[in-house]
Each structure stands twice: as structure tokens, then as C-alpha cells.
Amino acid sequence: MSHPVELRLSGSGGQGLQFSARVLAEALLRDGRTVAQSQSYEPTSRGGVSRSDLVVSDGDIDYPLVTGLDYLVILDEVAAEFPPTLLKPTATLLVDESRVQTRVAGPWTIRSSPFAEIARALGNERAGNIVALGTLLALSSLCSSASVAAALAAETPPKFLDLNSEAFDAGWRLVQPTPAAEAAHARA
Amino acid sequence: MGEGQRINLQGNHACALGAIAAGCRFYAGYPITPSSDVAERMALELPKVGGVFIQMEDEIASMGAIIGASMGGAKVMTATSGPGFSLKQENLGYACMVEVPCVIVDVMRGGPSTGMPTRPAQGDIMQARWGTHGDHPIVVLAPSSVSEAFSETIRAFNIAETLRTPVVLLYDEVVGHLVETVQVPDPGSIARAERKWATGPREAFQPYAATDDDIPAMARPGDGYRCHATGLTHGERGLPTQNPAEVERAMQRLLGKLERHRDVIDRFETFAAEDAEILVVAIGITARAAKRAVAEARRQGIAAGLFRPVTLWPFPEQPFHALAEQAKAILVPEMNAGQLSLEIERLSGRPAKVARINRLSGEPIEPAEILKIIEELARHGR
């Protein structure tokens, strides 16, 4: 990784966006990376736009906030509006088609999947964030599966660990992982 | 930060861990966004080290509680945000006057009043210096990273204890809620300063005697030294006085003690500043945006530089002066309507060369915005 990678997980407050960002940051830490994770939320305990951003680097991070996203995850209609200039032209978007009605369009690679629906089929719609995390990591070569599994185990309350592990695997299987991601998976 | 543990840590949690490492054993507070994580972490950590955590009935009582606990001999801290910081000001003035070591964290959110609880701002820069009435000594530290939230909290305690003064730790919501990968040093490797306690004959003890270093020794409860603490103007014996000569002497010492100890107070960071023609001055998250903007300007061949006061008040005037004099233009980006820029104009020698970027929207100032103004200043001057 020569340049820092920037990600945003966005949706509605209560969807576990801060949680999945924490899991991802923890996994990246285990892989020896340096991360900066920032957040934005509204003063309500549920609802409102909520997002968590990550800057991932192999070295020091001078400015810890995102300025050019490589990945944007949108898990709810309230987050469907975003500043297009914040995305690199090469960015990849993951959109939860079961919760986002707005048709997101632009020069980016856009993948729509029913993350929440898949999670509901596994027993709890609220694991949609982890399904999306699985897809995100299958598409990128950001971190090893072993680190993600360890981070999930460390951060998840025990009674939800099986659900989160299944949700992650379901998300991972949604796409054909990139060769680099596959290699990272195999290393695990 | 040396050996220790490499972890992902939030700014507010780093502040709490820094406090514990510095020897803080008493915390009183009232929850308020975006500072509540400091209290949460202190509530978890203090019992482990035999300390005391109290959630008080309000902000005013929290400030009172830490002052009392400090007089009782503990290293103390409270944390709040703008609305709570306003409420603490009266007791904060008392702590300045009575010279009680304490650390007050103000995590800045949008204001005035209740403003925007979850959005960042830097609108308390002047309040931190002048929030309580009357001339008073106070130290304000302004960390701009998670790593510094840890190390500057430790420094806050060491300054408070050494100089018998309240120290405010001032940072914006971004720094408070930011999680960064940091190296947390072993607690054993942290240098802790201890306050000067009264020694010698008890009868001769004067609680506000002007000692060699202008820092009076404190009476440790139980040691048998008589002590009177009052917010009324007091002489060396600690008793109220309106005798002009005594008042003048007492106030000159009180207001002069920080100036005498600049060596332990001053701290600043410079980046590419030695030959800077355009000098950017910023704190907190804005300083990190400025640093990237300066680096990019240098890549373009523009002689830009950064001056970041880590100790915000008293402002590190001397190191700033030389850089300010050589600069053709000075740029002050800040998330308020113009506060730090007032001090920079004062110190610049020529206020007209100070340009501003002011942001009130609740969004951080981005590197690109600062770079754009640096480029304009390089083209057209000031």
C-alpha cells in the first residue's frame, strides 16, 4: 500500500456503522497498518445520518480525515446524498439496495446488494453492516481474514459472535473476491 | 511515544489514560457531548488504581469537587464542553486565585449556548483564556492528535502541580472522537511532577509566602500547617486584605508566576517554518489540515510554513516573533469567527499581513481550502 486508502461507512444512526469501522480498524491494526478513524453523527440515539471514516496507511497519517474516498458504503437512504467531489474517480461504492431507494450514479464502480435482507435471512437485519463489511473486504485487499476474524471476536458481544461471523461470510461470498483479497484470505 | 503498546485509541480515551498515567486519582464530572468518553473511561480506570470517580449533580459542583479534592492532596481532573465550561468559570476563577492545581478538559463543540453537540468547533479559544473574571493566571494546552491528547494531558498535570495553577486542555470534537493507531508508553516510564508541600516549622508557615520560585508550598491536610483559603484577595498569610501595598505584591506574584516559568510552559511545533514567507498558524484538527496544505505548497515551490502553538495560553510569543517578522503574510485558519487571529494580529507587528479563514458550519477546514488561500497569498501578497 503506497498511498493511504480512504473509506466511508455511512447509513442511519443505530446500524452499527461505528461498530463495523471499529472492527475494521482493529483488523488493520493487527495487520500492522496505521489507521485514523473519525466519525459524524447526529444528537439522536437512533436515526439521522451516521458515518465513520477510515484512513489506512503503512506510515504516519498527517491529516486524519478523508479527502478522497476509495470506498464508500451506503447502508440507508438517509446517507444516499454525498458530496461527489469527496470520491476518487476510481472509487468503489457498495449500496444496500434493500434500504436505499435513490439510484446512485456516477463514474465510480457501483455494486448494489441487499445487505440488510441477507442479514434478516440469517436471523437479524441489524447484522447488515457486517454483511457489507464482508463484501467490502472481498473486493479490496485491505486486510487478512484472520485479522478480521480476530477483530470480530474481540469486538462482538459473545451472544452475537456466531451471527456476525455468518454475516461476514455471507458478505464475502456475495462477490468474486479479487486475486489479492483471495491471497489474503488464503494466508489466513 | 517510545516502547509500550500499539493500539487504536480514541482522543478522549487517550486523555483519560494520560490522566491516570500522570497520577490523577480523583475525577468529578457531569456528562456532556463530546467529552463524555473522558468520564466513561475514568469511571472504568480510576477504581483499578484506587482512585475516586464521582458523577456530580451538575457542572458547577463538578468543578467544586475537584478543587476540594485537590486541596485534599489528590491530582484531579474534570472534563466538559462549551456549555459546561461556561458554568465552571466561577469556580475556575477561585482555583486560579487560591492556586489549586487542577486539570479541566474542554472538548469544543459548536456554540454559543448548546449549539451543535456533536459537531466540532474552536470557539472557546478566548473563553479558555478569559472565561472567568478579573486578571488571572491560567495555562491552556491544545493537542492536535490522539497521541498528543495522551502526552499533553500528562504535561497538563505536571504543569498544574509544579506551578499550582489550573490547566485547561482544549481540543475540538474531531480530536476528541478521533481514533488513531498510537504507541502508548508503559505507565512506569512516565515522568510525574509532584507539588511542593509545606515543610519546616509549623508556626512560621505562611500559605502564600513568595518563595524563590514564586510558587507557594501547599499545606498537606493532616501535616498540621494552618491554612486559610479564600477567593478574597489575600496576603501571604492567606487572610483577606485590601491593603494596597499587600494587594499589589500578592497580585504581581500571582500574575507573574507563569511568566517566570515559561521554560516548563511553552511548547510549539514548527514545520518548514525557518524560511517561510507565508506562515500558517493553527491548532487542533485545523493544524493538521494546515500541515498537509503547507507540505503541498512546498511541493509547488511556495515558501510556506506552519507554526502550531501546543501551549496556546500563555502564547509562546518569543519563538513566534522571529518567524512572524520574516513572514510576508500570516494565515490563521480556525473553526470560529476569528479568535486566534486576534492574538496573531497583536503579535505579528503588522496586523494587515494577517489573513483569516473562519469556519462556522460545524465542518472541519480541509487542507485544500488552506492551500487555495496560501496560493492566493503567494500570487498577490498581503
pLDDT in tens, B63-108: 999 999 999 999 999 999 999 999 999 999 999 999 999 999 999 9
CATH architecture of B269-380: 3-Layer(aba) Sandwich (3.40)
By CA distance, what is B119's nearest residue in A?
Answer: A40
A95-121 tens-digit pLDDT: 999 999 999 999 999 999 999 999 999
pLDDT in tens, B207-234: 999 889 999 999 999 999 999 999 999 9
pLDDT confidence of residue B146: 98
Mean pLDDT across chain B: 97
CATH: 3.40.50.970, 3.90.226.30, 3.50.50.60, 3.30.1330.30. Which one for B5-189? 3.40.50.970
Q: Are the C-beta atoms of residues B312 and B141 closer than 8 Å to each other? A: yes
Reported ipTM exceeds the 0.90 cut: yes
The pLDDT value recorded for residue A42 is: 81
pLDDT in the model for residue B210: 82
In the chain, the amino acid numbered A157 is P
Give the pLDDT confidence score for residue A145 in this predicted structure. Answer: 85
Where along chain B do the CATH 3.40.50.970 domains lie?
Answer: 5-189
pLDDT, tens digit, 9 for 90 and up, residues B132-152? 999 999 999 999 999 999 999
- Within chain B, which residue ranges are assigned CATH 3.40.50.920? 269-380
What the block records as the C-alpha cell of B154 is 500528562
DSSP class per residue in B128-139:
HHHSSSSS---E
Burial tier of B318 (Cβ tally within 10 Å: 0-12, 13-18, 19+) = exposed
Judged by CB atoms closer than 8 Å, whether chains meet at A64 and B181 is answered as no
Say if residues B10 and B178 touch (Cβ distance below 8 Å).
yes
Torsional sign, CA A60, A64, A68, A70 = positive
Cell triple for B345: 494580529
Contact list in B for residue A43 (CB cut-off 8 A) is 33, 117-118
pLDDT of residue A130: 97
Supply the Cα-derived Rg of chain A in whole angstroms: 15
- Closest residue in chain B to residue A151, using alpha carbons only: B8
**Nearest chain B Cα to A23, which residue?**
B8
The interface residues of chain B toward chain A in range 14-73, judged by CB-CB distance below 8 A, are 33
User: Domain holding A42: CATH number?
Assistant: 3.40.920.10
Per the CB < 8 A criterion, the answer to whether B314 and B258 are in contact is: yes
- Sequence-distant (≥ 6) Cβ neighbours of residue B248 within 8 angstroms: none
The mean-pLDDT minimum among A77-81, A137-141, B356-360 falls in A137-141
Report the C-alpha gap between B159 and B163 in whole angstroms: 6
8 Å CB contact of A63 and B291: yes
Q: Exposed e or buried b for every residue in B95-104, given b needs 16+ CB within 10 A?
A: bbbbbbbbbb
For residue B158, pLDDT over 80 is answered with yes
Please state the rounded mean pLDDT for residues A23-44: 93
Q: Structural domain tally of chain A?
A: 1
Calpha distance B351→B345 (Å, rounded): 4
Taking the Cβ of residue B295 and every Cβ of chain A, the question of whether any pair is shorter than 8 Å is answered with yes
Is the predicted pLDDT of residue B2 greater than 60, yes or no?
Answer: no
Whether the model pTM is above 0.80:
yes
DSSP state of B244: H
The whole domain housing A160 covers 5-186
